[in-house]
Chains A and B, each alone.
Chain A
């Protein structure tokens, strides 16, 4: 398996534009997580899914952020409209069921909003 795949690796956009980040989890993993990483706040969990269903979105910062998982092999994180303070590295991770399962991270998407 190629691991968790994210696209794009880098995204530069202008303030006010819509941004869509994509993730393909490891096949067979029932859980998918979206994290945001910044110097100031570290790794923050934004939302996670179990079997394509959003379980906890309490980390989503604002209504400008939304996430979907239409099937077991694909998820998106959308920001609309984007703002400069959204600039960060966004990681997607997936894991097997179980309370002590390792989270496998994708390579991340570095988002810059100018």
Chain B
């Protein structure tokens, strides 16, 4: 099965700085890598995802990069703002014989952006 490791567990930055969160996965058959953001006391919500046929995807201040050879992917947040403070989870799927992939989540990164 899939094993997803996420680093760092906590990250503190000043407003305006960049933040990078990294994840590694073990199953080379995985082909979909989403990132979820969970604000305090709220539900996880998808913020960006990447398919295995591309190396990078951007959406305004957030971007995700994928290195399939090394089996790692990263979330990049530029020009961080206090409202970016949250816990971020990466995920990778475990392919199963039904054709559906169940998501395995990383342990989360608590990002704190100080004004």
Chain A positions within 8 Å of B, measured between CB atoms, are: 31, 33, 42-43, 45, 48, 50, 55-56, 91, 97, 99-100, 102-103, 105-108
Contacts and interface: CB of A to CB of B under 8 A. Distances in A.
Contacts of B45: 105
A31 B103 CA distance: 12
Interface stretch (B68-76, B77-85, B93-101): B93-101
Interface of B: 31-32, 34, 42-46, 49, 51, 89, 93, 95-96, 98-108
A91 B102 contact: no
Nearest to B46: A102
A111 B102 CA distance: 24
A102 B34 contact: yes
Nearest to B44: A105
15 contacts: A43-B89, A45-B102, A45-B103, A45-B104, A50-B98, A55-B96, A56-B102, A91-B44, A99-B32, A99-B95, A100-B32, A100-B101, A105-B44, A105-B45, A107-B43
A80 B113 CA distance: 41
A33 B106 CA distance: 17
Residue among B42, B43, B45 with most chain A CB within 10 A: B43
B105 A99 contact: no
Nearest to B43: A105
Contacts of A56: 96, 102
